[in-house]
Structure 1
Amino acid sequence: MKTLIVYNHPYEGSFCRAILDAVCEGLNNSGKEVDVIDLDKEEFDPVMRASDLKAFVQRKPIDPKVLEYKARLESADHLIFIFPIWWELMPALTKGFIDKVIFPGLAYDYKENGLGMVPLLKNLKKVTMITTMNTPSIAYQWIFGNAVKKALLTGTFWKMGYKNRKWISFNMVKQVSHQKREQWLNKLVQRFSK
C-alpha cells in the first residue's frame, strides 16, 4: 500500500509543513509506504504551454516531470494533497499539477459516447485534500461556495469517477492558539496511523 502526497507550500516553517510531517508520521506508524512530491522544492513548472496543450490533445505528456509523476501516481493507492487556500483557491503549483498531470490517457479517459469519464489510475482507491486557510468555514462555504472543494474533489476527481474523496480543512489558522494547532496535528497523526 503506497500513499502519494502532493505537497505545495514554499515556506518551511508553515503550518502546512507541520501537517505534512504529522501525516507522514501517521502513515509511517501504519506501515504504509509514503512518497512525497514537494512541488516547490522540485521546481515544478505549472504553466500549460502550447506544447503541453498539444500533448494533452494527443494524450502523450512530454514534460519530464509529468512523466515522472505519472509513474509515481500509477503505483499509489491513496493520493493526498496538502496546500494552503489563498484567495479562496489552491496555489498555482497545485493548479498546474492538476492541469498538467491529471491528464487524459494518464489519469482518465473519455467514455466511448463522450458522455463522462473513466478513471485510469487502477490502484487509486482514495483521494484526500488537506488544506489550511484563515477564512471561517461557514464563510468559505456560504459566501465563497467551497470553491476549492468544487474544483478539486468534485470538478476533477468525482467527474473522473474516483468515488472515495475526503476533505480535511483547518480554518482560522492564524487566529487559533498554538495548543489548538498541536491538537489538530496530534489528531492527524492518530487518524493516519489507523
Structure 2
Amino acid sequence: MHTLIIYCHPYQNSFNHAILDAVQQSLNQSNLKYQIIDLYADDFSPVYSTEELKLYHSGQTTDLLVEKYLKLLKMAHTVIIISPVWWNSVPGMLKGFIDKVMKEGKNLSHIVTKLGVQGELKNIKKCYLITTSTSPTFYIRFFNANGIKKIFLNQTLKQLGFQGRSWINFGMISTTSIERRKKFLKSIRLKKFE
C-alpha cells in the first residue's frame, strides 16, 4: 500500500505546482512511498467516447490510462488530490477523471445496489483534497453552499469508499501576499499525510 497523489493543473509554474512540491517534500521526509498521477502531463482525456461509454457497465475501457489509474487507486491507502477550484467546483479534467476511471463492477471502484452506490475503494483510509481558489475559503463554505466538501468529498468520494476525507483550501490566490503563500507551503511541508 502506498500514497497516491492526483495532480490536476496545466501550468507547471502555478501555486498548485508549488503545493505538489511541498506535498512531495512532506512524504519524502516521512519516508513514505508515493506515486503521482499528473492528469495534464499524462494528456488524459476526460471526455467519454461513444465506444468508452458503451463499455461502462461491463467495467471495461478503451483508455489504457483508465486501467492504470484504477490499479493505482486500488493499491493506495492514502490519496492526496491537488486541484484549483474553478467556477465553484473541481475542474472538468478532475471531474472527467472521476467519470471515466470509476468503473462499475465488483473489484473495480463501485457496485450499484438497491440502496445506491456502494464503494469498492475502501482500501483508501485517508483522502486529502488540497485546493486553491480565487474566492476566500469562508465564501466557498458559507455563501457558496460548500459544494466542494458537501458534494465532491462527502458524496462522490464517500460513495466510492474513500475514508478519512478532509479539505484544505488556500483562498484568495490571486491577491494574496508572498508571505502568506510561503506560510501555507511550510504548513504543507510539515503536515503528516499518513
Q: Normalising by structure 2, what TM-score?
A: 0.92
Does structure 2 conserve the Cα–Cα contact (< 8 Å) formed by 1:117 and 1:161?
Answer: no
CA distance in 1, matches of 2:94, 2:177: 28
Residue 85 of structure 1 and its aligned partner are, at CA, apart by 0.7
CA distance in 2, matches of 1:193, 1:57: 34
CA distance in 1, matches of 2:123, 2:12: 31
Gaps (5+ residues) in structure 1? none
Residue 15 of structure 1 and its aligned partner are, at CA, apart by 0.4
Residue pairs, 1:19-58, within 5 angstroms: 19-58=19-58
Residue pairs, 1:107-146, within 5 angstroms: 107-111=109-113, 114-146=114-146
CA distance in 1, matches of 2:126, 2:77: 7
Q: Say which SS state the counterpart of residue 127 (structure 1) adopts.
A: strand
Q: Closer, same or farther in 2 for the Cα pair 1:150/1:53, shift >3 Å?
A: farther
Q: Say which SS state the counterpart of residue 192 (structure 2) adopts.
A: helix
Gaps (5+ residues) in structure 2? none
CA distance in 2, matches of 1:160, 1:40: 23
Report what 1:151 is aligned to: 151
CA deviation string 1:31-57 (max 9, x = no partner): 111100110110000002222222112
Does structure 2 conserve the Cα–Cα contact (< 8 Å) formed by 1:116 and 1:160?
Answer: no
CA distance in 1, matches of 2:98, 2:5: 14
Does structure 2 conserve the Cα–Cα contact (< 8 Å) formed by 1:29 and 1:193?
Answer: no
Q: Say which SS state the counterpart of residue 42 (structure 2) adopts.
A: coil
Report what 2:3 is aligned to: 3
One-letter identity of the residue aligned with 1:159 = Q
Q: After the TM superposition, which of the residue ranges 171-180 and 38-47 deviates more from structure 2?
A: 171-180
Q: Percent identity?
A: 38
One-letter identity of the residue aligned with 2:112 = Y
CA deviation string 1:67-92 (max 9, x = no partner): 11111111111111101111111111
Q: How many residues align?
A: 192
Does structure 2 conserve the Cα–Cα contact (< 8 Å) formed by 1:26 and 1:190?
Answer: yes
Q: After the TM superposition, which of the residue ranges 83-92 and 10-19 deviates more from structure 2?
A: 83-92
One-letter identity of the residue aligned with 2:11 = Y
CA distance in 1, matches of 2:8, 2:76: 18
Whether 2:81 is the aligned partner of 1:81: answer yes
One-letter identity of the residue aligned with 1:131 = T
Does structure 1 conserve the Cα–Cα contact (< 8 Å) formed by 2:57 and 2:103?
Answer: no
Q: After the TM superposition, which of the residue ranges 10-19 and 140-149 deviates more from structure 2?
A: 140-149
Q: Closer, same or farther in 2 for the Cα pair 1:164/1:189, shift >3 Å?
A: same
Residue 122 of structure 1 and its aligned partner are, at CA, apart by 4.3
Q: Normalising by structure 1, what TM-score?
A: 0.92
CA distance in 1, matches of 2:161, 2:179: 39
